[in-house]
Amino acid sequence: MQEIKVNDEIRDLKTDVALGLTFKQLFILGLGFIVMLSSGFFLYTYTTLNKRMVNIFCTTLIVPFGFLSFFTWNNLNAYQFIKVVIQNIKEPKYKMYYEENEEYKALLLKEKEDKKRKKEKKS
């Protein structure tokens, strides 16, 4: 019987599409270039900014896209990492658990009802 060796970490297996980049990285960088080119074209043609200012602005626009496409931390990509950070911010740091004593609540409710009945009988 023949054995087929399978990689233990299938998630670490990445396929390169072009230039050593995965499809997700190419897609995000493509979006970044589209945003950069469209805003650069708009700024250069419809504003009074010179070429150097437009170039600096467009360069700062593409940096977050590069960060999103290449960021990994503990096998989490940028989207998963941001999701975990937001969940940790939303959740309280200390969870408080309160025990409710149903018997005591029932006893208090019974006492209130008894007091109401006594008042009704008196009047």
Alpha carbon 3 to its chain's center: 41
Question: What are all long-range contacts of 107-113, with beta carbons under 8 Å and residues at least 24 apart?
Answer: none
Per-residue model confidence (pLDDT) at position 118 = 87
pLDDT band at 10 (very low <50, low <70, confident <90, very high): low
Residue type, 63: V
pTM of the model as a whole: 0.50
Per-residue model confidence (pLDDT) at position 111 = 92
As a whole number of angstroms, the distance between CA 36 and CA 55 comes to 9
Q: Is residue 5 predicted with pLDDT exceeding 70?
A: yes
Q: Average pLDDT in the 56-83 region?
A: 85
Can you name the residues that pair with 77 across neighbouring β-strands? 72
Alpha carbon 90 to its chain's center: 11
